[in-house]
């Protein structure tokens, strides 16, 4: 059963290679996994040169070989796009890193809208601070204070009217890996 074990090893190495390439494309690894790729290529050449009489083993080997061929095409194309600067995830990640390098927006802005009373302004600042922290934790862009404050001020009367509430509190939650503002009407 050495052939079956070799095919199983090939399938495991192929899965590991796929994971390593995805990590490389996402920027978690600095260099592509060429050493493991060479091992997989060597194993594919070795196994495809053998005569296999069992249909199940032949099917597994052909499947792994075809997967490797299509993965190679995908990996080579993606590496070429990265080198040419056309890789989409790279551009997104580059913008993310540029945003991180820029100085953080002021947590407590100096200019406050004239229409807000002091306690409302303090609660908006508190919600904004929590929202900024949550978005930093989820690696999302940081919105401007004015945008968040305008959103809260615009939504508060609508929610009060809809739920017949005397007040509306906003809290920050993380859903599906994204920071969100949730309105909590108070009776």
Model's pTM, two decimal places? 0.49
Sorted by where each begins, the domain ranges of the chain are 2-97, 104-186
Q: Convert the pLDDT of each residue in 95-109 to its tens digit.
A: 666 677 666 555 555
Give the residue from 89, 65, 90, 79 showing the smallest Cα distance to 7.
Answer: 65
Poorest-pLDDT segment among 13-17, 82-86, 93-97: 93-97
Checking if the pLDDT of 153 tops 80, the result is: yes
């Amino acid at each position: 059963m050495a052939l079956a074990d070799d095919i199983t090893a090939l399938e495991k190495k192929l899965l590991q290679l796929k994971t390593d390439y995805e990590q490389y494309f996402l920027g978690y690894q600095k260099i592509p996994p060429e050493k493991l790729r060479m091992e997989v290529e060597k194993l594919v050449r070795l196994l495809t040169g053998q005569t296999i009489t069992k249909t199940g083993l032949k099917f597994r080997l052909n499947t792994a070989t075809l997967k490797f061929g299509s993965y190679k095409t995908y990996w080579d194309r993606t590496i070429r796009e990265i080198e040419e600067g056309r890789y989409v995830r790279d551009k997104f990640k580059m913008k993310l890193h540029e945003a991180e390098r820029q100085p953080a927006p002021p947590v407590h802005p100096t200019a406050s809208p004239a229409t807000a009373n002091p306690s409302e302004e303090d609660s908006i600042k508190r919600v904004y601070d929590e929202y900024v922290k949550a978005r930093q934790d989820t690696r999302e862009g940081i919105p401007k204070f004015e945008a968040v404050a305008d959103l809260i001020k615009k939504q508060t009367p609508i929610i009060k009217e809809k739920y017949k509430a005397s007040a509306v509190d906003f809290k920050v939650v993380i859903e599906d890996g994204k920071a969100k503002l949730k309105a909590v009407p108070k009776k």
